[in-house]
Amino acid sequence: MNLLRNINVYFFIFSLVCFLSSCNNDLDLLGGQKEVPVVYGAISSTQEYVFIRLERAFGDNDIKPSVLSKNPDSLYYNDAIVVLSLPEENFSVNLIKTDASSLGIVRDTGSFANVPNYIYVTPKDSFNFKSGGEYRLSIEVKGKVYTAKTVLVNQIDLILPTETSTIAFIPTINELPSQLPKLVYEPKGSVRVADPAVLDLQIRFNFNEKDSRKGNTFEKKSVLVPVTGSILADDNTTIRYAPNRVYEYLRDHLEKDPAFERYFTSLDFVITGGGKEYLSYTAALAANAGITGTQDFPLYSNISGGQGIFTSKNTSVFSRTNLTNASLDSLAYSRYTIGLNFRK
């Protein structure tokens, strides 16, 4: 943090959707107003758009960071050319600078300008997706070219529980990892280097709900619950999860009132797999944590000449509809959900 004592520094803090968030205060190259491009991009075949977020970091001795960060003219480039390519398929596409809010992508308010919210984008339908393919990112701006590459990660299949399995979804007092329910998955494709390096599990809990104060019609409802956070993928191809996380979420987010009547309908296991760059990013932070680490916390970057991360991710959703009778009893009477009026 010594750098911040000597110069007012603005640095873009970029966030990764499911997985991670950080900032880099160790840009010891900010003489005057030298600019540094900051990039976030994660190619995904399971999203509606492929996009790259490109912003710029620089220091200024005269202008406070809080002022710089709120000025779109300071935050965004005007003349950048952003290209994604898959050389082995002779595919290349120029991304179009677009206000993400026009695509329904809203940026959180905070230290940085959120209107406009520029990204470089192309529709999913115009992109060539190849699991295991090596993609290249090229950014040309102000006479310089910045590059990066990544491999598109494989999607996965869920082996267990099967679509016909009856799932025991019951909260426990002592969450012993070896006794938690598990998912067994299998990466698709034949290029093993493209298997996900990190995984994130969310569970979408779906139910029907009637509010007698408004009538006798049941409405479809759902809540999406973060369950595991980012975990390392390994040869074991299993994910242990705690049903307690879902029960706690229901307790904290559903209204308790006798007017409600609710029925479970299904669980969706939402699994996102990320490329090896996510793993490298996490390892870079871990290497500087703890009592033997430094205080610098350098940010991992795979952008040649710039800062940021270019990687890939894919999300798969697996719906399961069958719970054991004991699980339905738990929804009705557990210490978490009693009073929420779940019926069998």
Who wins on pLDDT, 175 or 239? 239
pLDDT at residue 3 is higher than 80: no
**CA–CA distance from 100 to each of 44, 47, 52, 77, 117 (Å)?**
17, 14, 11, 15, 5
Peptide bond into 87 cis (omega under 30): no
> pLDDT for 126-158, tens place per residue?
999 999 999 999 999 999 999 999 999 999 999
Residue 198, both tokens = 């990190």
pLDDT at residue 192 is higher than 80: yes
Report how far residue 172's alpha carbon sits from residue 179's, in angstroms, rounded to the nearest whole number.
10
pLDDT at residue 21 is higher than 90: no
114-118, 184-188, 189-193, 234-238: least confident range: 114-118
In the chain, what percentage of residues exceed pLDDT 90? Answer: 67
Query: At a CB cut-off of 8 Å and minimum separation 6, what does 75 contact?
Result: 12, 55, 56, 68, 69, 112, 113
9-23, 154-168, 181-195, 255-269: least confident range: 9-23
23-37, 93-107, 301-315, range with greatest mean pLDDT: 301-315
Confidence class of residue 62 from pLDDT cuts 50, 70 and 90? low
For residue 276, is it left (φ>0), alpha (ψ between -120 and 50) or beta? alpha
- Arithmetic mean of pLDDT, 23-31: 38
Report how far residue 302's alpha carbon sits from residue 280's, in angstroms, rounded to the nearest whole number.
9
Report how far residue 166's alpha carbon sits from residue 296's, in angstroms, rounded to the nearest whole number.
49
268 backbone dihedrals φ, ψ, rounded to 5°: -110, 120
Q: What is the structure's pLDDT at 165?
A: 96
> pLDDT for 65-98, tens place per residue?
556 556 666 789 999 999 999 999 999 999 999 9
> pLDDT for 281-337, tens place per residue?
777 665 554 444 444 445 689 999 999 999 999 999 999 999 999 999 999 999 999
Q: What is the structure's pLDDT at 9?
A: 26
Q: What is the structure's pLDDT at 60?
A: 59
Confidence class of residue 108 from pLDDT cuts 50, 70 and 90? low
Mean pLDDT of the residues in the chain: 84
In the block, tokens 């979408």 appear at: 204
Q: Return the SS3 of 327.
A: helix
Sign of the alpha-carbon dihedral angle for 255, 257, 261, 262: positive
Could you tell me if 116 and 157 are in contact, meaning their C-beta atoms sit under 8 angstroms apart? no
Domain boundaries, the chain: 2-153+275-312, 156-274+316-343
Which among 144, 135, 163 is positioned nearest to 44, based on CA atoms?
135
In order, the DSSP letters of 10-28 are E----EETTTEE------T
Q: What is the structure's pLDDT at 297?
A: 45
Report how far residue 47's alpha carbon sits from residue 57's, in angstroms, rounded to the nearest whole number.
28
Total count of residues recorded for the chain? 344
195 backbone dihedrals φ, ψ, rounded to 5°: -65, 145
50 CA to centre of own chain: 14
